[in-house]
Amino acid sequence: MSTVSSSTASTIASSVAATTAASNAALQQAAQSIVSGSTGNSSMDVNSLVTALVNAKTAGTAATISAEQTQDNTEISAYGALSAALSALQASLSPLSDGTTLNAFSTTVSGTGITATAGSGAAAGSYSLDLKQVAQAQVLTSTGYGATTALASGSSTMTLTVNGASTTISLDSTNSTVAGIASAINSATNNPGVTATVVNGADGAHLVLHSTSTGASNGISIAISDSNSSDALNNLAVTTTAGTAITSASATSANLTANQSTISNTTNWTQSTAAQDAYFTIDGTGATSTTNTVTSALSGVTLNLTAAAVDTSSTGSGAQTITVAQNTSAESSAINNFVTLYNTLVTTMATLTSFSSTSTSQGVLLGDSTLNMIQNQLATIVATGVKSGSTTTSLASIGVTLNSDGSLSVDNDTLNTALQNNQSTVAALFNSTNGVAAQLNNNITSYSSSTGVITTRTNSIQTDLTNLTTQQSNLAEYQSQLTSMYTAQFTALNTLMATMNSNQQYLTQLFGGTNSAGALATNKS
């Protein structure tokens, strides 16, 4: 049986007493049928009598079991509400305990065509970015061929290579139309990064190849193996040569152009778009990237470059300013969200442990040792703050104060001042090792784990419910046995009393009775 508080025990006792009193009253009423049966006024009401007797004998036990089941289910629901409030609070702690929010930065860009996102490792400041060219993926377009013309007359192969990776496709007269070649490329195993399409122009069907990766080194080369040298397929052989790498010292217009890829077969292929790297300067320092998503040039900042931001001037007049600043708005929002959900937990616990001197209805977990322990431990963490050597940093130092009812209040002016001017204090208070959020997170995890106090307590109540169900089944079986026994006994008694009443009436008819003369008395003379 689970442990219950004195108020719970009182409630159960009252329920049992009321049920027992009701069953005794029913028994007294049913017992009148014995008197009626014995006087001959009527037969006994066997069913009512048996039901009343069985209830009188088992009602107290049944009421106790039912009351305890109700209490157990109520406690399980209460622990569910507590767990939900703890989980909601824990969710709000993650961005504070892992440092992601308190190390958050916002970014602004002065022009268009560039977006910047700051993350871990970023540093507040302003940076001048001058974009000279964006990274491009190569596009090759073949000359036109008849849409139904097979470019290979027999067994042939086409090997496509991109930046050292290659795949070989097999072609013959059945699948070497321009559309057939495009389909074979797109479905090739270990495709090195080439997509093929067909453009039907006035001069025929053109095979168009796109490299799926940007950068000067990701040009497409094609090798053909065809035993029939007259096959048109041989015309598709092409070699792409990567352009010259860009250095900050050679970033002239001519050398930017030299960074573009070139092809060997300009008779049968047109390089619609050359493969090239992105080139830009940050505060005068040149940098290149094979993609337009740049993560390594500016520490902690991801840059997304587009052609709209390219500076075509020779003076750098098209440079844009990227400003990285502490994201105090996100930090304030995270701390306020933590306070709100902590207060929700405090309210939930207060409701579950409420006490009223004028009412018999008390909080479900009033006096519960598990909830009291959780409440005290969390309150201690919030009240104590973070110690580092002989120094203690409290929530009050950033405008979060503890109220007399255990809830928290936020002075947003003080908080915003701390976020803007005293980041070291905020960082110390919410450090990922022993910061307030980290401590709360660790405690909540321990409460909710498979071996935690909430799980242990809930499992104990579930065990008690199982035992009560077994007791209920045993009681039902006992009630059935009593019903059968009493029914047999009182049915026999009813029959006996009916026979006695019948005999009494017969004797009265013969010998007479009070205020009557029997048949034998009349015939006496």
Q: Would residue 469 count as lying in a domain? A: no
Which of 456, 489, 512 terminates a domain? The answer is: 456
| Res. 524 pLDDT band, cuts 50 70 90 | low
Containing 196, the helix (H) or strand (E) segment is strand 194-201
State residue 251's pLDDT score: 79
Q: Would residue 47 count as lying in a domain? A: yes
User: Could you tell me if 376 and 447 lie in one domain?
Assistant: yes
User: Could you tell me if 82 and 183 lie in one domain?
Assistant: no
Does the pLDDT at position 102 exceed 80? Answer: no
Q: Would residue 282 count as lying in a domain? A: no
Q: Would residue 488 count as lying in a domain? A: no
Domain that holds residue 144: 136-276
pLDDT digits (tens, 9 = 90+) for 319-355: 999 999 888 888 899 999 999 999 999 999 999 999 8
Other CB atoms within 10 Å distance of the CB of residue 19: 19
Q: Would residue 521 count as lying in a domain? A: no
Which of 422, 456, 490 terminates a domain? The answer is: 456
State residue 15's pLDDT score: 57
Amino acid at 209: L
User: Could you tell me if 272 and 142 lie in one domain?
Assistant: yes
- Identify the burial level of 454 via C-beta atoms within 10 angstroms of its C-beta, where 0-12 means exposed, 13-18 middle and 19 or more buried: buried
Nearest to 117 by CA among 129, 127, 125, 109: 109
User: Could you tell me if 94 and 141 lie in one domain?
Assistant: no
State residue 6's pLDDT score: 47
| Res. 356 pLDDT band, cuts 50 70 90 | confident
| Res. 10 pLDDT band, cuts 50 70 90 | low
User: Could you tell me if 191 and 84 lie in one domain?
Assistant: no
Does the pLDDT at position 523 exceed 90? Answer: no
Least confidently predicted of 66-80, 291-305, 422-436: 422-436
User: Could you tell me if 140 and 36 lie in one domain?
Assistant: no
This prediction has a pTM of 0.60
Does the pLDDT at position 186 exceed 90? Answer: yes
Average pLDDT over residues 280-307: 95
User: Could you tell me if 150 and 267 lie in one domain?
Assistant: yes
Q: Would residue 14 count as lying in a domain? A: yes
Say how many domains are in the chain.
2
Q: The domain spanning residue 194 has which CATH number?
A: 2.60.40
C-alpha–C-alpha distance, residues 286 and 316, integer Å: 13
User: Could you tell me if 92 and 169 lie in one domain?
Assistant: no
Q: Would residue 514 count as lying in a domain? A: no
| Res. 25 pLDDT band, cuts 50 70 90 | low
User: Could you tell me if 84 and 141 lie in one domain?
Assistant: no
User: Could you tell me if 156 and 255 lie in one domain?
Assistant: yes
State residue 13's pLDDT score: 56
User: Could you tell me if 343 and 428 lie in one domain?
Assistant: yes
pLDDT digits (tens, 9 = 90+) for 105-117: 889 999 999 999 9
Q: Would residue 299 count as lying in a domain? A: no
Q: How far apart, in Å, are the Cα atoms of 123 and each of 103, 281, 286, 322, 380? A: 10, 18, 20, 12, 35
Does the pLDDT at position 358 exceed 90? Answer: no
**Residue-wise burial string across 180-205, b where 16 or more C-beta atoms lie within 10 A, e elsewhere:** bbbebbeebeebbbbebbbeeeeeeb
Which of 456, 482, 497 terminates a domain? The answer is: 456
pLDDT digits (tens, 9 = 90+) for 64-97: 898 899 889 999 999 999 999 999 999 999 888 8
User: Could you tell me if 444 and 337 lie in one domain?
Assistant: yes
Average pLDDT over residues 157-182: 98
pLDDT digits (tens, 9 = 90+) for 446-475: 998 989 999 999 999 999 999 999 999 999
